[in-house]
A and B are shown apart, each in its own frame.
Chain A
């Protein structure tokens, strides 16, 4: 442990000046076939925590707790707040970001469908602003990521 820590301190001192990306080939090349070893990188794919076990009672209620949400941000622009408030009545805006880029006509149709068949209570001016927002940010021409 101590030795490891000492090495770590030296390493910290050396890293700023050298910042090499990988392993020293001088050591690795002593073993035929070994190209790289001991390379680590930041955990840039992220991590997710384990759930603690539940403490259920023996009654007839079967509960699992609240559903977590994982909603990516929407593009900034005029109409964003209307989208969040009106579309968010029934569903998270992940329903928008999850879609492939859709042509303007498709977004018009979808907003109309939400009002007509799903019963979304969106006044006409707001619906127009919502369509305009979606067309500005989420068509093949306007959405790049």
Chain B
């Protein structure tokens, strides 16, 4: 390959070969990290990067996202998209469990079914949802239960997310409770089961057949739940659940059934694989346990739907891709959220978490939304700096500085850090 620039050659032609004294220093400048691919494999240690170590790939209706798996499809949102409080639909992360994902949906025959222990089973067309029911909107974060799983040590199997298994959108649709009232939920109903069009090739009754998730009828989260036909005021991308998706503000994404097609009133507790075996967490504070206890087989577990998403906050910029000149103010920006009441405080640390200063919060888009934050930081000395952020929610939950461990790789919410190099400015 050719590395000589045009200007260089002109200089060389003008000055003679003596001008071509290429030093090792000049070569080192060219071999910068910016043109070297990230390793695609982290080894058994903690993934040290903000996102997972996967390549950019293109999918229908999507910008290049980070491919975790390609059949079923799991795509991670790259860090820069979290600079805004609302994640663009084209950049919103994707997480499926099984591989029969709809490529085309016919709205002339598709119906949303409300069935089971109800007085009046419903079969609603897409247009009827918008015409016959009041439209409501909520800004809410959808986060994968296993977001940041690649931070676990020892590592656990599962989708190896960095921090990009999350997104925030303004969801518009019909209140779930209004649909339920229309169908007339009968006494004796204990849970509501949700199932979408996506499924797998496995035998009926097994995990690879269909994903079904259930919530208790009395769960207060259902009061805020909606069946959304708009995402950021646009139709949902197919990979985010077209034509409608269940929105359960505050709960992890596994309950936000995509391509929602069946809502079933159950008279007994759901015992399908996706409730009885998968997505279960230790019944301990923060769902924290040890590999030894998990291996003992005596761990008491509950569905992850029993908890709300713990409070988290993130540094989006500076991201370490640029060296920062000493003495220059830097606008540190990020987001915070909690599934358990709004974020009330975000704190910034310039010294690796030893001391904290309150950061400035951005606009309030509601209790379930990302809340942006910022803090102007002026590094005075050159060298390596580690900045950190932590958030507090309305229930006084503060992000801890201790890691969490459970066999499923769920509920990571440790304080986030960013290492930065500050250079001399003179």
Contact = CB atoms under 8 A, between A and B. Distances in A.
Given A26-B15, A39-B5, A99-B160, A64 B208 contact: no
A21 B30 contact: yes
A123 interface: no
A100 B5 contact: no
A60 B64 contact: no
Determine the interface band of chain B, counting residues with CB < 8 A from chain A: 35 or more
A1 interface: no
Contacts, number: 215
B3 A36 contact: no
B12 interface: yes
A98 interface: yes
Nearest to A54: B60
Contacts of A95: 69
A89 B277 contact: no
B133 to A, nearest CB: 20
Nearest to A12: B2
Given A27-B8, A68-B58, A21 B70 contact: no
Contact of B35 (A11, A44, A65): A44
B3 A20 contact: yes
Contact of A20 (B4, B69, B150, B243): B4
B7 A98 contact: no
Contact of B11 (A15, A18, A26, A98): A26
B102 to A, nearest CB: 9
B8 A24 contact: yes
A15 B103 contact: no
A44 B3 CA distance: 14
Interface in B34-68: 35-37, 39-44, 47, 54-61, 64, 67-68
A92 B42 contact: no
Interface string A1-44: 00010010011101100111111111100000001111111101
B20 to A, nearest CB: 6
A92 to B, nearest CB: 4
Contact of A38 (B7, B58, B107): B7
A60 B5 contact: no
B160 A98 contact: yes
B318 interface: no
Interface stretch (B198-206, B337-345, B384-392): B198-206
Contacts of B36: 44
A81 B26 CA distance: 48
B207 interface: yes
17 contacts: A7-B10, A12-B2, A20-B20, A22-B27, A26-B21, A27-B19, A35-B26, A38-B6, A41-B3, A61-B106, A62-B107, A65-B60, A67-B73, A98-B68, A100-B42, A119-B205, A143-B41
